[in-house]
Amino acid sequence: MNVIKSKRNKERVKTGMEKYDAAFSDLENRLIEEARMIPPRMEAVEELLKQGADLNKTGAERNVFLTILEYYGEYVDENGDVRETGEYLPALLKLFFRYDVDIKVKNEDEMSAAWCFVWPTATDQAMLEAAELLLQKGMKANARYQNETPL
């Protein structure tokens, strides 16, 4: 049993396939699981997208894309070592763009994708590259949340 703590101090116990949201189908849950692997299994992710897994499907708190996105950045592994996962995000984003991901989606707190990951974790080159990719696809750099912007 592996326990992974994310930057937001959430714990995830990996005991087979996790059901992330009751509204997500088995395809979407498998997509989330594969995309969150370190490193992500890109062939499996693309195959699930080809089979119809919907990145834009909305659950109780957020959509599939944001459920994947929130995992990227920094986390503490089962040995207590800090790991960076941002290096995999640019490749995932490029794949997601081919499957019409909605990058302007907001989570339950009305936080845009920028606030979910770019602002708190854009500290390394890969995360900055991911932010640039999102900006090129139309993400608003001046999106406001609690009277602040990522810039």
* C-alpha to C-alpha distance for 117 and 85, rounded to whole angstroms: 12
SS3 label, residue 12: strand
Identity of the highest mean pLDDT range in 2-6, 63-67, 107-111: 63-67
SS3 label, residue 30: helix
With a cut of 50, say whether residue 2 has pLDDT above it.
no
Contact assessment for residue 131 and residue 90, using Cβ atoms and an 8 Å cutoff: no
**pLDDT-wise least confident of 37-51, 60-74, 134-148:** 134-148
Pairing of strands 11-14, 2-6: antiparallel
Amino acid residing at 54:
D
With a cut of 50, say whether residue 137 has pLDDT above it.
yes
Pairing of strands 82-84, 74-76: antiparallel
Identity of the highest mean pLDDT range in 36-40, 76-80, 99-103, 147-151: 99-103
State the pTM of this model.
0.76
Tokens of 51: 């089979």
* Per-residue confidence (pLDDT) for residue 116, from 0 to 100: 62
Distance of CA 4 to the CA centre of its chain: 15
